[in-house]
């Protein structure tokens, strides 16, 4: 008998199989078939994006963020990378009996501050409580609605050979911060948890961005493998161009982890035509969340569906879709 494992929630191959073999088997429709971070819905006179996400991160508080901030920014970012202006969020909480009300208040205050910073409003919600031992303090679900205000709607299906791949800064920071807290590893590790809507808005309004994604669970590896499969292209990354903090690289080397599979919560991948990439990079670097941005690779015609890393001397290795997650309950 097959059972659910932690890896089924990690955004890798087992998550993909669960979606394809179970959820789509019974729930498939034209909106789920879009396969992006949110569904683009056509309403009379306008288009909106609708997205939802759930948060079970452990610990609740970590350097650079907490479960409340994560719940707001995670859904805001899913809307933003679909080319939408995030407007409204719902908030659902499942609380464990015995949770200190002071701890809950800290989370709710963080949610309020994050919503204000991201420019969204919490407009509806629900709270349930389960018996002690049947949950782990707090689980949160947020759903979000955003308005598409640009004719350029990015999609994972739109990557084209010759396109350049941009990222707005150092990868793996969130995963490293969570790991360091759990394992009591000393060092300067801080989550990159941040709202991306104000960073991406001027770029998508000015340049023809083909694909935008936030590489959260499964990191760069999962996100780029999804795009390569959706667009039926190859993706070449340039190792020396990918921004990775020295302490994060050291941590991964010490523990035998792949930094390309570490989660991020304030990073965006943009794929766009080569002729506008440098100008878009300049605009990205003008924003505080993009000051360490870089062009990290290029879309190739072949091998279709494959992501590979090229080093400075020409060596190559395939970056596979992660089977699960280096760390469960990362977000």
The maximal CA–CA distance of the chain, rounded, in angstroms, is: 58
Residues 91 and 208 in one domain: no
Question: Residue 154: inside a domain, yes or no?
Answer: no
> How confident is the model at residue 133, as a pLDDT?
94
Residue 271, in any domain of the structure: yes
Partners of 142 in beta bridges: 53, 91
64 shares a domain with 31: yes
- Percent of the chain at pLDDT above 70? 99
- 99-124 tens-digit pLDDT: 999 999 999 999 999 999 999 999 99
The answer to whether 319 touches 310, Cβ cutoff 8 Å, is no
Cβ-Cβ contacts under 8 Å for 159 (sequence gap 6 or more):
210, 211, 227, 228, 230, 231, 233, 235, 271, 299
Question: Are 217 and 322 spatial neighbours (Cβ–Cβ below 8 Å)?
Answer: no
Segment 141-151 shows an average pLDDT of 91
pLDDT for residue 128 is more than 80: yes
176: domain range?
Answer: 164-318
Domain for residue 157, yes or no? no
Burial class (CB in 10 A: 0-12, 13-18, 19+), 283: middle
Q: Give, as one character, the DSSP assignment of residue 320.
A: P
- H/E stretch holding 278 reads helix 274-285
Rounded CA separation 10/14 (Å): 8
313/223 same-domain check: yes
With a cut of 70, say whether residue 210 has pLDDT above it: yes
Q: How far is CA 134 from CA 58, 142, 232, 327, 330, in A?
A: 15, 21, 43, 21, 20
Yes or no: say if 286 and 227 are a contact pair by the CB < 8 Å rule: no
The reply to whether 62 falls in a domain is yes
Does residue 288 surpass a pLDDT of 70?
yes
- Closest by Cα among 114, 116, 123 to 89: 123
Residue 143 sits in the same domain as residue 175? no
Measured distance CA(131)–CA(182) in Å, rounded: 25
- C-alpha count within 13 angstroms, C-beta hemisphere, residue 21: 8
**CATH assignment at residue 138:** 3.30.1330.10
Domain termination site, one of 94, 117, 148 = 148
Dihedral pair phi/psi, residue 25, rounded to 5°:
-60, -40
Q: Is the predicted pLDDT of residue 325 greater than 70, yes or no?
A: no
pLDDT of 206 above 90: yes
pLDDT digits (tens, 9 = 90+) for 289-317: 999 999 999 999 999 999 999 998 989 99
Tell me the mean pLDDT in the region 212-234.
96
Yes or no: say if 57 and 330 are a contact pair by the CB < 8 Å rule.
Answer: yes
CATH number, domain of 266, equals: 3.90.650.10
- Alpha helix (H) residue ranges in 87-170: 101-118
Strands 164-167 and 294-300: antiparallel
What are the pLDDT digits (tens) for 36-48?
777 887 788 889 9
pLDDT computed for residue 18 by the predictor: 83
- 107: three-class secondary structure by DSSP: helix
Determine the average pLDDT of the residues in 89-99: 93
Q: In whole angstroms, what is the distance from residue 101 CA to residue 207 CA?
A: 47
End-to-end C-alpha distance for the chain, whole angstroms: 28
| pLDDT value of position 326 | 66
The pLDDT value recorded for residue 108 is 95
Number of domains in the chain: 2
Asked if pLDDT for residue 254 goes beyond 90, the answer is no
| Residue 159 is assigned to a structural domain of this protein | no
Which residue is it, tokens 């009591």? Answer: 184
Q: Is residue 183 part of a domain?
A: yes
268 φ, ψ (degrees, to nearest 5): -130, 135
- Same domain for 211 and 117: no
Give the C-alpha separation, 165 to 294, whole Å.
Answer: 9
């Amino acid at each position: 008998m097959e059972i659910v494992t932690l890896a089924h929630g990690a955004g890798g191959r087992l998550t993909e199989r669960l979606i394809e073999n179970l959820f789509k088997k019974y729930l498939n429709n034209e909106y789920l078939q879009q396969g992006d971070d949110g569904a683009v819905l056509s309403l009379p006179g306008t288009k909106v994006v609708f997205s939802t996400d759930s948060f079970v991160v452990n610990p609740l508080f970590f350097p650079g963020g907490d479960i409340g901030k994560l719940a707001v920014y995670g859904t805001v970012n899913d809307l933003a990378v679909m080319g939408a202006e995030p407007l409204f969020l719902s908030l659902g909480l499942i609380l464990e009996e015995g949770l200190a009300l002071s701890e809950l208040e800290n989370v709710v205050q963080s949610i309020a501050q994050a919503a204000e910073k991201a420019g969204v409003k919490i407009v509806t919600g629900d709270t349930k409580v389960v018996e002690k031992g049947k949950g782990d303090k707090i689980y949160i679900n947020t759903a979000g609605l955003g308005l598409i205000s640009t004719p350029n709607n990015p999609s994972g299906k739109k990557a084209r050979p010759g396109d350049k791949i941009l990222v707005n800064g150092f990868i793996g920071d969130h995963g490293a911060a969570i790991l360091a807290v759990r394992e009591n590893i000393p060092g300067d590790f801080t989550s990159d948890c941040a709202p991306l809507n104000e960073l991406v808005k001027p770029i998508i309004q000015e340049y023809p961005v083909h694909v935008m994604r936030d590489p959260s669970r499964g990191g760069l590896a999962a996100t780029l493998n999804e795009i390569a499969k959706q667009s039926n292209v190859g993706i070449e990354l340039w190792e020396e161009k990918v921004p990775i903090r020295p302490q994060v690289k050291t941590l991964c080397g010490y523990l035998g982890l792949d930094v390309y599979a570490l989660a991020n919560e304030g990073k965006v991948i943009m794929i766009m035509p080569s002729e506008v990439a440098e100008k878009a990079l300049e605009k990205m670097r003008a924003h505080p969340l993009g000051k360490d941005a870089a062009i990290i690779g290029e879309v190739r015609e072949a091998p279709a569906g494959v992501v590979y890393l090229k080093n400075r001397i020409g060596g190559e290795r395939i970056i596979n879709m992660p089977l699960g997650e280096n760390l469960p309950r990362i977000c």
